[in-house]
Chains A and B, each alone.
Chain A
Amino acid sequence: MRIRGHAGRIAALTVVGTAIVLPLVIFVLGPNMPPGKRTTGASSQVTDNTVLLVVMTPFTVFILVYLGYAIATFRATAGEELRDGPPIRGHMPSQIAWLVVTSAAVMFLAIFGTAELFASNGAGGGSGPSPIAKPSGPVLPVQVIGQQWEFTFRYPTYGGVETAELVLPVGRQIEFHVTSLDAIHSFWAYELGVKADANPGVDNIAFVKATKTGSFQIRCAELCGLWHGYMFDTGRVVDGAQFTSWISGERRQFTPVQKYLPPYAPTYKPDPQGRAG
């Protein structure tokens, strides 16, 4: 095939560039995209990130190749008199082609993103008090309470015990219930791929299932006042037996003070007689 003219060369360079970059994106960058594959939610985010990169690659390569080619080729020679280029005011076929291609990409991304969002039960994101997409089967509810400036956790199926540490069993579907007692916080468990805003008076639900054990970092991702920068913590994903022994230890330790806590509820109102939660 012979490549003729500027358009042919730009097209050829775009195809070659895409052919080089695309395998790198799919096989090298994609599998290593953040936030890793330690949970179901995080894995579906990695899938999304990879698909987005793949769709973007040809557009990016085309625009950069075009820019580079245009700057290199369509240059006025140094010191020449002012000379005008041809008065081209548009080119309907390429305008229509551009519209069709970008529309197709956008529609694909929107449909794909929606499908992935439902298939992954919200991909670890906060989905409000009554999410449409829910995992089938039993779940372990864990409440996350944000307050200035720490997160605490309650396990309603274990007597509503409140802990200062977040420990989760591997392989079980977790249902986070995120709420706040004061300002807006955001519960961000980075390696779990979970982020859900903690709003006062709102029960914000996020689903995740850890597939590997290990520790993960927790950060507050919404500016919540003076010590926002210090609102971080480390959580652990452990196997089922370790979780059972940990939670029973916590219950033994905290049962004597449990009566000072308000009963477990989806949201809390601050109590003037003492802090809730």
Chain B
Amino acid sequence: MSPRRLLGYNLLSAAVLGVAGFYLGWWLGHQITGPSLAYFSDTGQNDIALFLAYIVGVVGFLFGLGFMSYPIQRLLGKPPSLREKETAGRARYFALCTDHKVVGMQYLIGIGFFIFIGGLNAMLIRFELLSPTKQAFNPNNYLTIVGLHGTMMMGMMTSGILGPFANYLLPIMIGARRMAFPRIEALTFWLLMLAGVILMTTVAYGGFPTGWTGYAPLNDQANMGMDSYIVFFALVGISMSLLGLNMLATVITMRAPGMSWGRLPIFVWGVVSTSVLMLLAAPVLISTLFMVALDRTAQTGFFNEQAGGSAYLYQNLFWIFGHPEVYILALPGMGIVLEILPVFARKPLWGYRLAVTGMLGITLLSWLVWQHHLFVSGINADLRPFYMLSTELISLPTGFIFICALGTLWQGRIRLTVPMLFTLAWLFNFLIGGLSGVFLSDVPSDVTTHGSFFSMAHFHYTIMGGLLFSFFAAIYFWVPKMTGFAINERWGKIHFWSMFVAFNSTFGPLLVIGFLGMPRRSVTYAGYLHGGNTWVSISAFFLGASMLVFIANFIWSMVFARVPVGPNPWGSKSIEWQLPSPVPVHNFDRVPTFGPDPYPYGVADGPSARIATVPARPTT
């Protein structure tokens, strides 16, 4: 590699500048606080230094990657280079690239890596809970593992489907060649990766004891590892809101001729409703964490009772973000399920408008339910009937999604391919997730289930059973399109059945264990729950093993076997399947025209869109 390449904007210079920035910020922080501030030297904690280290490090990394080259060139009056978009080849995947398909692949691998880390933490949690009293980890390490698992999963899975699949497919589905803001699109990915690395560095600073919710005033007591959590979630929030903004701008402004709102594939509607929530909810998180950071560094007292603040304020702000966040995790899965069902039932989507209404209804209602997380907290106790009603009302739009899914199966020609299996499993898991949610929405029932393993198992049914199953459905469905290689079906089925059985064998009993009195995030539990917990731990290890089956199969299929698939292995009539696999750099030679029907199954028409091909143009 020539020196010119090494000195340019690439991952190496980004890493060097990132580390240099980290230590520059660290040094600056120590200069600011100095030895005169006895407070910091007493505790051995310097939050200001760590915050500055993270922030300057992030800026350095992004500078090294080339995010500043466009504004700098503009400032200097030079024409901006779009070289990163034009180049082909593998190096693009390790650099700043504004091709939405490259960003989608980067997201898939990057998020997959961090989900794997989060999953390892889950294995450690279940290992600890094999015994009610004997401890494998000390309490601080256990809480850090719990916090890392929850925070990593919640942070990464927000973009788990929009990152890889919406980035890759949404422009194609609406007939565009790129996203509205390609550089912002790349920025969301790199911010998320930086966030993941920063969260993992928490172990170097003592971890954090708060779990993923980070409640005050515990977050103020915590040692420096808490700062990693704050910077992580703030970066995830910035990444999320930019991602949502980009998606909305793309769908609003870049639809091809004929692609009216009523013709959008249902997956795009899932992305739109998710993006609205991302754009509006993430800023609440960012500003809340900013206040926490001020509490920890500038000694403000927003969330400190003794300093005139309120711990309730944090709970309110966190869940005003946190409940839409839950639907940020659920809605893309609904979009994927309703997108995949027509292909393998070979029928149009049943009740298109009802499904869209359901998604938009969830988007609206998700803002009105956050205090159901605070039913026993004593806050606004008189308003509990309202939040009970609004929470239960969400089951109506969710019911729309279900009836549309069931209706699509009606008299179909169902093919049980691997993506279809994951889709049907989504229906089963999300049904249980939704039903268990009804207990949590009912205040008298919630008194016992609140803060117990029941609520933990409930949201694992909706997030893991819902989002992660639809994530795998999307992988088995679309990765052949994205890479051009088939995923081995036989091993895919082994993965599905082992995961489905192990998942239900893990979280089904957890619903019962929670109801029988097991609190969340506790390193000990009552002796009578020992048998159940042992069963759950063993099932969880099988669940982890099923993920290894997937990873082995994925790597085998993509790296070694490399069986090429044609453009349309599933016989879908959607536009992305009318293009070659993988999709060429510029998506289409000509802008496609869309017909009136996004799911033209059972009618004589061809696919949903016509893509005019032009003979190879002479290169100029």
Interface residues of A (CB under 8 A from B): 6, 33-35, 41-42, 44-45, 47-49, 52, 56, 59-60, 63-64, 66-67, 70-71, 74-76, 80, 82-91, 94-95, 98-99, 102-103, 106, 109-110, 113-114, 116-117, 120, 122-129, 131-132, 178, 182-184, 186, 188, 190, 193-197, 199-206, 217, 219-230, 232, 269-270
Q: Say whether B406 contacts A49, CB under 8 Å.
A: no
Which A residues are in CB contact (< 8 Å) with B444? 41, 44-45, 47-48, 113, 116-117, 120, 123, 125
Q: Would you call B354 an interface residue if the criterion is a C-beta within 8 Å of the partner chain's C-beta atoms?
A: yes
Q: Say whether B376 contacts A125, CB under 8 Å.
A: yes
Q: Say whether A190 contacts B448, CB under 8 Å.
A: yes
Q: Would you call B63 an interface residue if the criterion is a C-beta within 8 Å of the partner chain's C-beta atoms?
A: no
Which of these, A194, A202, A221, contacts B519 with CB under 8 Å?
A221
Q: Say whether B522 contacts A228, CB under 8 Å.
A: yes
A174 CB, nearest partner CB in chain B, Å = 15
CB pairs A–B below 8 angstroms (15 shown): A66-B406, A74-B412, A75-B413, A75-B415, A87-B348, A117-B384, A126-B376, A126-B381, A184-B216, A193-B447, A195-B447, A199-B378, A200-B306, A221-B450, A229-B524
Chain A, Cβ-Cβ closest to B518: A219
Which of these, A95, A122, A124, A193, contacts B381 with CB under 8 Å?
A122
B572 CB, nearest partner CB in chain A, Å = 10
Q: Say whether B217 contacts A197, CB under 8 Å.
A: no
A194 CB, nearest partner CB in chain B, Å = 7
**9 A-B pairs with the lowest CB-CB distances in the bound complex, closest first:** A229-B523, A204-B378, A87-B602, A128-B381, A123-B444, A221-B451, A125-B447, A84-B602, A85-B347
Which A residues are in CB contact (< 8 Å) with B571? 82
Stretch among B156-164, B273-281, B387-395, B498-506 lining the A interface: B387-395
Known contacts A52-B445, A195-B448; is-contact A67 B385 (Cβ 8 Å) = no
Which A residues are in CB contact (< 8 Å) with B385? 110, 113-114, 117
Additional A-B contacts beyond A41-B447, A84-B602, A117-B388 (6; CB < 8 A)? A85-B347, A85-B601, A99-B396, A202-B312, A221-B519, A222-B451
Which of these, B140, B221, B377, contacts A183 with CB under 8 Å?
B221
Q: Say whether B347 contacts A86, CB under 8 Å.
A: yes
Cα-based distance from A82 to B407 in the complex (angstroms): 20
Which of these, A34, A63, A71, A223, contacts B210 with CB under 8 Å?
A223
Chain A, Cβ-Cβ closest to B517: A190
Interface residues of B (CB under 8 A from A): 139-140, 142-143, 209-211, 213, 215-218, 221, 305-306, 310-312, 345-354, 374-382, 384-385, 388-389, 392-393, 395-396, 399-400, 402-403, 406-407, 409-416, 424, 427-428, 431, 435, 438-439, 441-448, 450-452, 515-517, 519-524, 526, 571, 601-603
Known contacts A197-B378, A217-B517; is-contact A123 B396 (Cβ 8 Å) = no
Q: Looking at A113, A123, A188, which has the most chain B CB atoms within 10 Å of its CB?
A: A113
Chain A, Cβ-Cβ closest to B219: A183
Cα-based distance from A70 to B415 in the complex (angstroms): 11
Cα-based distance from A200 to B309 in the complex (angstroms): 11
B377 CB, nearest partner CB in chain A, Å = 4
Q: Say whether B406 contacts A204, CB under 8 Å.
A: no
Known contacts A48-B444, A86-B411, A226-B209; is-contact A71 B424 (Cβ 8 Å) = yes
Q: Say whether B451 contacts A35, CB under 8 Å.
A: no
Q: Say whether B603 contacts A87, CB under 8 Å.
A: yes
Chain B, Cβ-Cβ closest to A50: B445
Chain A, Cβ-Cβ closest to B347: A85
B444 CB, nearest partner CB in chain A, Å = 4
Q: Say whether A195 contacts B384, CB under 8 Å.
A: no
Which A residues are in CB contact (< 8 Å) with B310? 201
Q: Say whether A95 contacts B351, CB under 8 Å.
A: yes
Q: Say whether B414 contacts A232, CB under 8 Å.
A: no
Which A residues are in CB contact (< 8 Å) with B221? 182-183, 225
Q: Say whether A219 contacts B209, CB under 8 Å.
A: no
Which B residues are in CB contact (< 8 Å) with A201? 305, 310
Which of these, B213, B395, B414, B443, contacts A106 with CB under 8 Å?
B395
Cα-based distance from A66 to B431 in the complex (angstroms): 13
Which A residues are in CB contact (< 8 Å) with B415? 75-76
Q: Say whether A89 contacts B345, CB under 8 Å.
A: no
Q: Say whether A184 contacts B215, CB under 8 Å.
A: yes
Which of these, A91, A113, A193, A217, contacts B442 with CB under 8 Å?
A113
Cα-based distance from A123 to B346 in the complex (angstroms): 50
Q: Say whether B447 contacts A75, CB under 8 Å.
A: no
Q: Say whether B443 contacts A123, CB under 8 Å.
A: yes
Q: Looking at A44, A102, A120, A125, which has the most chain B CB atoms within 10 Å of its CB?
A: A125
Q: Say whether A87 contacts B311, CB under 8 Å.
A: no
Which A residues are in CB contact (< 8 Å) with B216? 184
Which of these, B211, B354, B452, contacts A223 with CB under 8 Å?
B211
Q: Say whether A124 contacts B439, CB under 8 Å.
A: no
Chain B, Cβ-Cβ closest to A113: B442
Which A residues are in CB contact (< 8 Å) with B311? 184, 199-200
Known contacts A67-B428, A106-B395; is-contact A188 B442 (Cβ 8 Å) = no
Q: Say whether B442 contacts A90, CB under 8 Å.
A: no
Which B residues are in CB contact (< 8 Å) with A129? 378
A182 CB, nearest partner CB in chain B, Å = 7
B380 CB, nearest partner CB in chain A, Å = 7
Cα-based distance from A142 to B451 in the complex (angstroms): 23
Which B residues are in CB contact (< 8 Å) with A6? 410-411
Q: Say whether A194 contacts B447, CB under 8 Å.
A: yes
Q: Say whether B305 contacts A221, CB under 8 Å.
A: no
Q: Say whether B427 contacts A67, CB under 8 Å.
A: yes
Which A residues are in CB contact (< 8 Å) with B379? 128
Chain A, Cβ-Cβ closest to B516: A34
Q: Looking at A129, A203, A230, which has the most chain B CB atoms within 10 Å of its CB?
A: A230
Known contacts A84-B601, A109-B392, A128-B381; is-contact A90 B352 (Cβ 8 Å) = yes
Which of these, B142, B209, B407, B446, contacts A94 with CB under 8 Å?
B407
Chain A, Cβ-Cβ closest to B428: A67
Cα-based distance from A205 to B349 in the complex (angstroms): 51
Known contacts A110-B385, A120-B444, A221-B451; is-contact A204 B352 (Cβ 8 Å) = no
Chain B, Cβ-Cβ closest to A201: B305
Which B residues are in CB contact (< 8 Å) with A33? 515
A135 CB, nearest partner CB in chain B, Å = 15
Q: Say whether A90 contacts B451, CB under 8 Å.
A: no
Cα-based distance from A161 to B601 in the complex (angstroms): 76
Q: Say whether B347 contacts A184, CB under 8 Å.
A: no
Q: Say whether A95 contacts B435, CB under 8 Å.
A: no
Which B residues are in CB contact (< 8 Å) with A131? 381
Cα-based distance from A120 to B209 in the complex (angstroms): 36
A185 CB, nearest partner CB in chain B, Å = 10
Cα-based distance from A148 to B306 in the complex (angstroms): 17
Chain A, Cβ-Cβ closest to B345: A85
Q: Say whether B209 contacts A87, CB under 8 Å.
A: no
Q: Say whether B431 contacts A60, CB under 8 Å.
A: yes
Cα-based distance from A222 to B446 in the complex (angstroms): 14
Which A residues are in CB contact (< 8 Å) with B431? 60, 63-64
Q: Say whether A223 contacts B347, CB under 8 Å.
A: no
Q: Say whether B346 contacts A195, CB under 8 Å.
A: no
Which of these, B354, B377, B445, B523, contacts A199 with CB under 8 Å?
B377
